[in-house]
Amino acid sequence: MPGPPKIVVVGSSNTDMVVKTDRLPQPGETILGGEFTIVPGGKGANQAVAAARLGADVTLVARLGIDAFGESALENFQEEGINTRFIVRDPDAPSGVALIFVDGNGENMIVVAPGANSRLSVEDVENAADAIRNSSALLLQLEVPMDAVVHAAEIAHTGRVKVLLTPAPARQLPRHLLEMVDVLIPNEIEAATLLGLSGEVDEQNARRLLDLGINTAVLTLGAKGALIVTPDATHLVPARKVDAVDSTAAGDAFAGALAVRLASGSDIMTSVDYACRAAAVSVTKIGAQSSLPTSAEVDALC
């Protein structure tokens, strides 16, 4: 029998400091919050943990500071069964942190201090080149330097490894990178940024994502589900209805689950449906990595 799918994640690792509040503050406003928690986060780390909990053999390429946050993150990755061989401990920068406010509807505001994440280098990625080439899928995001992201995509693309990119934080991207992406996973804000739009991204506009050079786009739509866009067709996969309490890592749960299923050989429709279920489970729990589901939890949500 084949073993678990091998997935490499190149990206960020943060410690999330989360405050629950009835509503989000306005600029210049001070409000009293409620529960405070400290949980591991960062888009790269979240996606790595998401894929690992769903049964993948995961390797993470990242940078951590030599500090208490870095020690805690490394221990957490090891407990999750993630290969940490290519995680660099940076003596000159602190580990990344994120300050997160979550309101009573599960909406959030996030500010990230990237620290060592901003120093992930091409050399760091090159050191993991063999692991990337021997994987079934590469997961990328944009919380680390662009040259590291591009180099990772180049290694995977030339090795015929599936490249999945979550284009967050939202920004314009070089066509050279987009042409190496097999599946782009933007939310509506990220898609609008890539397309130079200021309003909502409807189905017609979503098809324009393919003009950027990518093969397939999966536009995540929160409670509405996800829109698959391919050269042949578009298809809306509905979300599962759940009681949402925190959407912090829903996109990362989605991306990790999508990578696991695609790397296991499932088609795009089956994979996106599975990813929608994983995201739905994640929003029923507070925090980033603390909300990421196991395969049993996803399978239980029909």
Active site residues: 252
Residue type, 141: Q
Paired with 41 in beta bridges are 14
**Residue 104 token pair:** 């009573």
Contact 274, 298 (CB under 8 A): yes
Strand residue runs (E) in 154-256:
162-165, 183-184, 216-220, 226-229, 234-237
Contact 82, 49 (CB under 8 A): yes
Nearest to 201 by CA among 182, 224, 180, 181: 224
Q: Is 296 exposed, middle or buried (0-12, 13-18, 19+ CB in 10 A)?
A: exposed
Contact 220, 186 (CB under 8 A): yes
- How many Å apart are CA 69 and CA 128, to the nearest integer? 23
- How many Å apart are CA 254 and CA 220, to the nearest integer? 9
- How many Å apart are CA 208 and CA 203, to the nearest integer? 9
- How many Å apart are CA 178 and CA 30, to the nearest integer? 41
**Residue 252 token pair:** 């990362």
Contact 96, 117 (CB under 8 A): yes
**Residue 165 token pair:** 């990119």
Nearest to 149 by CA among 131, 124, 170: 124
Place of tokens 């949980």: 39
